[in-house]
Structure 1
Amino acid sequence: MTATDHDTAEVIASMGEDFRGGSPLMRPVEIVASLLLVALVGLLFGGVVSRYAFAYPVIWIEEAASISFLWLAMLGSAIALDRNEHLRLTIVLKKLAPVWRERFEAAALVAVAAFLIALLPSAVEYAMEEWYITSAALHIPNTWRVSAIPFGFLLMTLLVLQYLLRTHRMADIAFGLFVVGGFAAGMWLATPMLIAMGSASLLIFLLLLVPVCLLGGVPIAFCFGLGTLAYLLFGSHVPVYVMMGRMDEGMSSIILLSVPIFVLLGCVLDATGMGKAIVDFLGSLIGHVKAGMSYVLLGSLFIVSGISGSKVSDMATVAPALFPEMKRRGNKPPEMIALLATGAAMADTVPPSIVLIVLGSVAGVSIAGLFTSGFVVAAVLLAILIGLARWKARNEITGSFRRAPFALVGRLLVIAAPALVLPFLIRSSVASGIATATEVSTIAVLYAMAIGMVLYGGISWKKLCNMLLETAALTGAILMILGTALAMAWVITQAGVAQSVAQMMQSMPGGWMGFMLITIVIFLILGCVLEGLPAIVLMAPLMFPIARSLGINDIHYAMVVVVAMNIGLMAPPIGVGFYLACKIGDVPPDEAFRAIWPYIFALIGGLLLIAAVPAISIGFL
């Protein structure tokens, strides 16, 4: 999440009253998290230099980076909780009377605290047991790494309780305790019956408890965690301790090391103005033709996404630079929002997409293959959106707008060239196998900072500190979702639900195409409700094995999943991304509601084409 994303976080996280605590205890934690992020970048860059410049790989660097990464994830999750940057839904809460809204806010906080307190003993036990496992290179107990989990749980517990006591009345807290305690007591009494039900009891927790928590305003990561924890406590004989191993696995994958670096890269893009330089160049090149500014908007999103890897960063970079000129030329604000939102959805498969990196980690799919395929898929969707924009501008009068002088185009190209190099550097390096996504992310962020400071105005110390904090918070929020969602996915698999669903889907008519249509519907809906990462992490372990059994290529299936999810994210009235675009473009959602649907349908048409023609996704691998 970038600096601008912090302004839009309330749209995602609360759209109303938030959890923000502003605890003074967090200042030292913020400093440590920022230093950990700097250390992580330094370690990864040192590994790249030692491997490629001196042909001498330093083995202990990966272990040190893994330790820093998990601590960054847990401290960042606490910072995200304090700054209200954990994703949650409050569509239902907004419709309640203020009195009841406060009560359910308190209940949500009590539920979060109950989850953290219930897991804390197991987290401590897990850290102590890891003392007997010694790292291969550093020769230190693994406890030094995994102790970040109980420390993070304890810190988040203190934050939640402090905020709850400071901002809510005792009557509201009592209501929250009654709701959470009453549920726990009821499940405890029903434990024999739930265990006798076997795996069927899992449906009670996943289809009842998780949605209720989600609608009640509990952050999504904790919704997944509460559903998994409740099943382990009341519906099975499996000890809660195993949940720690699954969460550790979900938050510690080496592939995910590139996530905070690419998030930081998005911050650098915003802070230095590199994105604006690209927008200005494209505007001078094609802004004078019919639908030219629409082309510039879509083209900018396509290119800028290859630098930032973040939809919100893309929209926040492009909209302020283009919207004033588009309004001056007579473009209607609702149409501009429609292009902005659907263009961001289109561009989310352009490398370095954080969603693709996470999906590759969870589903075991080649990141290089996903990057190559994502570029082609995004190009197909870009062509479809451009075609629709051109048709809608068929009556546009462009005579008053002249082509920019070649001298101006050349000057803007010189200014934008260092920024334009970056996305092609990222894509080509990963796709050709020259470097991993983690290595490329480190090189890219240092390149962007150096070029940005020399050519684009630099970054102040205050801005740099804010960027580090934003990166730590978003990294923590993402990885907490990954940890709890992977634990839930493990429970689903162990309970045999995955096998049952696989058999049911394999027996449905339509073969692999029928399964593709089911996938599209599922992820369109989940994209609306859960946002991208939670939907992917929760469903990928379930859906990908089924796709493989039907002979569907992993990368082809991944492209369908990601595109469907992104379309759902931007589809009103539920899709959160649509409201983000409206907020960034300062257009009321009611005005943009009707304008976006032709573009949504165009993207769905492109999605069906991608699903039906595997060559689009895998033809260039």
Structure 2
Amino acid sequence: MAVTILLVVFVFGLTVGIPVAITLGLSSLAYLAYVGIPVVVMPQKMYAGMDVFVLLSIPGFILAGNLMNRGGITNRIIRFANALVGWIRGGLGLTNIAASMLFGGITGTAVADAASIGGVMIPGMKKAGYPADFSAAVTAASSTVGPIIPPSVPMIIVGALSGISVGKMFLAGAIPGILMGLSMMVTCYIISVRKGFPHQPWQGFGEVVRSLGGAVWALAMTFLIIYGLLSGLATPTETAVVASVYAFLVGAFIYRELPIRAVPRIVVDSAVSAAGILALVGFANVFGWILVSERIPQAIANGVLSITDNKFLVLLLINILLLCVGMFLETIAALIILFVPLLALSNAVGIDPLHFATVAVLNLMIGLTTPPVGVCLFVCAGIARLPLAPVIVAIMPFLLTNILVLLAVTYIPALATWLPSVLIP
């Protein structure tokens, strides 16, 4: 009965539109009240979930991304991406995807990507003659690449939950992220040719070199982050701090588009964003503790193993479960609640933990663009000033493409494990 109350309050909260973090807290509170457990347990478990050193890197990476975005990074990356692929049929759609691949390597969050790139690209694509629904769809779909290509906030969460090296997690996402981006480019090109979307004239290698010169400081930030982790010179938290300082210096003194007076406001906004994520981590930890206490993870694992112990079928079932969960639950909450029990299940059938972690993150990223609670869909539909329905229809080819990449990464483990094994012995 107690679990029923927990789940009913949780589903009701999501249904009426209460934020996921608050819904997790309310449902956990209802459970504690029904069972008679002292409410003081709730802040204790919340603090235990947030008191993980590696999670301190989240505010750092958010601050670095905001500093670089305010300092002129978005327009420079879009210009560079446009110089590379804008001349191909459907070039602005391809530019959108390429910019998301480059920009995601700095922010590490899909929503930031969708809002920043979408704010520039969606109006620009509409003005150039692209349908509004297609413009919003390609922006939403491509934004999911950001948390796959390092750095990645969800992969930091996974590292904190599982003990897997964050550096290895970052590297494991590189090849799948590039595959996602390239496959979406192919899809975009096919749609553009079939529908006769416009393209721009080739601007010459001079523009490529000039735009690269403008974007190189921004792009170097990704290499700074990866080098810091791979060399062992810094932890993820220390790397995030270095990245923030670097972002400030580049925006203020090299690009000269970051006013010093704007920095306090950016710090406050970044702190608010990070606090929202960490509050979600805390509430989700309480919810996850309740599920463990009620042995729900063991029931899930036993249920799956009673059907099959074939690891390929187990991976398929886990993918189906996570795709369904991603339609309704925010990524970080889903990871905290489900990742550990599903990792135990995958270990039981002999699946490499790094491989499984990459599949789980990739899977839940796709959930950001699936109705009814695909956050990136809402962001991009809002920018395009469209109802959600036409954007959902337009994103279906990209969603199918990303699911095919997910299946490839699921059944070809080397796509996730090869690069970390080479660079981090």
Q: Give the TM-score normalised by structure 2.
A: 0.92
Following TM superposition, by how much is the alpha carbon of 1:616 offset from its aligned partner in structure 2, in angstroms?
1.0
Kindly provide the CA deviation profile for residues 494-525 of structure 1, in whole angstroms up to 9, marking residues without a partner as x. 33222222222222126222222222222222
Greater shift, 256-265 or 503-512, is seen at 503-512
2:216 to 417, 426, 451: 417
The residue aligned with 2:152 is 353
Kindly provide the CA deviation profile for residues 317-358 of structure 1, in whole angstroms up to 9, marking residues without a partner as x. 223433454345433222221111111113321111111111
- Are 2:7 and 1:225 equivalent residues in the alignment? no
- Are 2:40 and 1:246 equivalent residues in the alignment? no
2:13 to 203, 207, 213: 213
The residue aligned with 2:98 is 299
Distance 1:439 1:478 in 2: 19
Greater shift, 318-327 or 263-272, is seen at 318-327
The residue aligned with 1:457 is 256
The residue aligned with 1:203 is 3
* 1:233-382 correspondence runs (5 A): 233-235=33-35, 238-382=37-181
* 1:441-520 correspondence runs (5 A): 441-460=240-259, 463-509=262-308, 511-520=310-319
Change in 2 beyond 3 A, CA 1:463/1:588: farther
Secondary structure at the residue paired with 1:530? coil
Secondary structure at the residue paired with 2:144? helix
The residue aligned with 1:12 is none
Distance 2:173 2:414 in 1: 13
Greater shift, 324-333 or 606-615, is seen at 324-333
Contact preservation (8 Å) 2:2, 2:34: no
Instruction: Say what the alpha-carbon RMSD is for the aligned residues.
Output: 2.2
Following TM superposition, by how much is the alpha carbon of 1:438 offset from its aligned partner in structure 2, in angstroms?
1.0
- After TM superposition, where is structure 1 displaced by more than 6 Å over at least 4 residues in a row? 396-400
Change in 2 beyond 3 A, CA 1:456/1:585: farther
The residue aligned with 2:326 is 527
Distance 1:218 1:408 in 2: 48
Distance 1:336 1:556 in 2: 33
Distance 1:269 1:310 in 2: 14
Distance 2:273 2:16 in 1: 22
Identity %: 27
1:581 to 362, 380, 398: 380
AA aligned opposite 1:616: L
Contact preservation (8 Å) 2:326, 2:366: yes
Following TM superposition, by how much is the alpha carbon of 1:432 offset from its aligned partner in structure 2, in angstroms?
4.3
Distance 1:264 1:499 in 2: 39
Distance 1:588 1:411 in 2: 39
Structure 1: gaps of 5 or more residues: 1-200
Contact preservation (8 Å) 1:281, 1:416: yes
Distance 1:214 1:552 in 2: 33
Distance 2:388 2:26 in 1: 33
Change in 2 beyond 3 A, CA 1:203/1:463: same
The structure showing larger relative contact order (alpha-carbon pairs under 8 Å, at least 6 residues apart) is 2
Distance 1:279 1:266 in 2: 16
Following TM superposition, by how much is the alpha carbon of 1:461 offset from its aligned partner in structure 2, in angstroms?
5.0
Contact preservation (8 Å) 1:315, 1:584: no
Distance 2:245 2:24 in 1: 36
Distance 2:189 2:20 in 1: 39
AA aligned opposite 1:454: F
Contact preservation (8 Å) 2:100, 2:117: yes
* 1:40-189 correspondence runs (5 A): none
* 1:396-435 correspondence runs (5 A): 401-435=200-234
AA aligned opposite 2:366: I
Contact preservation (8 Å) 2:145, 2:177: yes
Kindly provide the CA deviation profile for residues 108-135 of structure 1, in whole angstroms up to 9, marking residues without a partner as x. xxxxxxxxxxxxxxxxxxxxxxxxxxxx
Change in 2 beyond 3 A, CA 1:231/1:341: same
AA aligned opposite 1:447: Y
Distance 2:42 2:177 in 1: 37
Contact preservation (8 Å) 1:270, 1:313: no
The residue aligned with 1:56 is none
Change in 2 beyond 3 A, CA 1:321/1:226: closer
Change in 2 beyond 3 A, CA 1:387/1:321: same
AA aligned opposite 1:342: A
Following TM superposition, by how much is the alpha carbon of 1:582 offset from its aligned partner in structure 2, in angstroms?
1.4
Secondary structure at the residue paired with 1:394? helix
Q: Give the TM-score normalised by structure 1.
A: 0.64
Distance 1:400 1:347 in 2: 25
Following TM superposition, by how much is the alpha carbon of 1:305 offset from its aligned partner in structure 2, in angstroms?
0.6
Following TM superposition, by how much is the alpha carbon of 1:360 offset from its aligned partner in structure 2, in angstroms?
1.3
Contact preservation (8 Å) 1:489, 1:542: no
Change in 2 beyond 3 A, CA 1:481/1:400: closer
Contact preservation (8 Å) 1:291, 1:396: no
Following TM superposition, by how much is the alpha carbon of 1:557 offset from its aligned partner in structure 2, in angstroms?
1.2
Contact preservation (8 Å) 1:225, 1:484: yes
Following TM superposition, by how much is the alpha carbon of 1:205 offset from its aligned partner in structure 2, in angstroms?
2.7
Change in 2 beyond 3 A, CA 1:603/1:398: closer
Secondary structure at the residue paired with 1:245? helix
AA aligned opposite 2:57: S
Greater shift, 264-273 or 330-339, is seen at 330-339
Contact preservation (8 Å) 2:91, 2:198: no
Distance 1:612 1:400 in 2: 36
Q: What is the aligned length? A: 420
Kindly provide the CA deviation profile for residues 296-331 of structure 1, in whole angstroms up to 9, marking residues without a partner as x. 211110111111112222123223433454345433
Following TM superposition, by how much is the alpha carbon of 1:257 offset from its aligned partner in structure 2, in angstroms?
0.5
* 1:533-544 correspondence runs (5 A): 533-544=332-343
Secondary structure at the residue paired with 1:352? coil
Larger Rg: 1
Distance 1:572 1:343 in 2: 16
The residue aligned with 1:193 is none
Change in 2 beyond 3 A, CA 1:321/1:217: closer
Kindly provide the CA deviation profile for residues 385-415 of structure 1, in whole angstroms up to 9, marking residues without a partner as x. 1221122223577998322133333222221
Distance 1:398 1:601 in 2: 21
AA aligned opposite 2:67: V
Contact preservation (8 Å) 2:61, 2:107: yes
Distance 1:432 1:525 in 2: 38
Following TM superposition, by how much is the alpha carbon of 1:283 offset from its aligned partner in structure 2, in angstroms?
1.1
- Are 2:406 and 1:607 equivalent residues in the alignment? yes
